[in-house]
Amino acid sequence: MKRMFGKADLSARSLSLLLAFALAQIALHASALAQDAEHGRQAYKVCLPCHVPDVETNKLGPHLKGVFGRAAGSVDGFRYSQAMRDAGAAGLVWDEKNLSEFLSSPKRKVPGTSMRFWGFWSQSQIDDIIAYLKSNP
Tens-place pLDDT, residues 10-19: 566 655 555 5
For residue range 80-120, what is the model confidence (pLDDT) as tens digits? 999 999 999 999 999 999 999 999 999 999 999 999 999 99
Q: Are 75 and 88 in contact (CB under 8 A)?
A: no
Predicted confidence at residue 6, as pLDDT, reads 55
> What are the structural domain ranges in the chain?
37-134
pLDDT in tens, 29-47: 444 444 499 999 999 999 9
Helix axes 123-134, 7-43, angle to 10 degrees: 80
pLDDT (tens digit per residue) in 51-86: 999 999 999 999 999 999 999 999 999 999 999 999
Give the CATH superfamily of 37-134: Cytochrome c-like domain (1.10.760.10)
In 3-state terms the chain splits into helix, strand, coil percentages (rounded to 5) of 55, 5, 45
Identify the pLDDT of residue 92: 98
pLDDT at 137: 86
pTM: 0.74
Residue type, 130: I
pLDDT value for 136: 87
